[in-house]
Amino acid sequence: MTIGTGKEEYAIVLDFLPNGHIFDTRPSHLKSAIAQALGKNHFILLELVPKKGTYLKSMQEVYIGDGKREEIHHIFGKIPYDKLTQTAQSELEYVIADLVKKDESRFIEFFNKSGPISTRMHMLELLPGIGKKHMWEVLEQRKEKPFENFQEIRDRVKLMPDPEKMVVKRIINELKNTDKYKLFAGS
């Protein structure tokens, strides 16, 4: 079950490099501005090329879909986590936390509907902080009544770490490619 696959319509700017990458050795008149961004729905890391004369701000939402784009000329491509600037890496957790909070129902659905990956492992166990004991308790609680929000998960599952923070950490781990499973971040 991968929630985040597909094409992005909107992205959140993590960092804007008005003079291009520092390691780009071309003369300055050949360099173009670059924005490092995170896809809003599928959590895909992207490099975007803004239109000439456009200055983007960190945390700014930009349209990158197929229609007419106001700020973005084209999408340069996907980038791995380790190619993000320090600024983009430091903004990433805040941007993801904001996106998770704004689309809480999507992640609550994961807690309510996730299933086993194999006979020995459940999708819930991929969340940092959930072991077998918490997993079984979540499964028991959701049988009684589906969860409606993160607070309800915390209230009904004893000693449960913050589920919202677990989702954010999981998305970051997926962007860093720490294991082969993708629950939220599209490839």
Phi, psi of 163 (to 5 degrees): -65, -30
- Please, what is the Cα angle at 50 between 68 and 93, to 5 degrees? 105
Question: Would you call 165 helix, strand, or coil by DSSP?
Answer: helix
pLDDT score at 179: 87
- Distance in angstroms (rounded) separating the CA atoms of residues 133 and 86: 37
Question: What does pLDDT average to over the chain?
Answer: 91
Provide the token pair at 99: 């996106």
Q: How far is CA 118 from CA 66, 123, 167, 182, in A?
A: 38, 9, 21, 15
Q: Which domains does the chain have, with CATH numbers?
A: 10-85 (2.40.50.140), 103-175 (1.10.150.280)
CA dihedral 14, 42, 77, 38 (to 10 degrees): 0
pTM of the model: 0.90
Q: How many other C-beta atoms are found inside a 10 Å radius of the C-beta of residue 143?
A: 8
pLDDT of the chain along its 187 residues, tens only? Answer: 334 346 899 999 999 999 887 777 777 767 789 999 999 999 999 999 999 989 999 999 999 998 899 999 999 999 999 999 999 999 999 999 999 999 999 999 999 999 999 999 999 999 999 999 999 999 999 999 999 999 999 999 999 999 999 999 999 999 999 888 999 987 5
Provide the token pair at 68: 């007419």
The DSSP secondary-structure symbol of 162 reads -
- Distance in angstroms (rounded) separating the CA atoms of residues 169 and 147: 20
pLDDT tens by residue, 125-152: 999 999 999 999 999 999 999 999 999 9
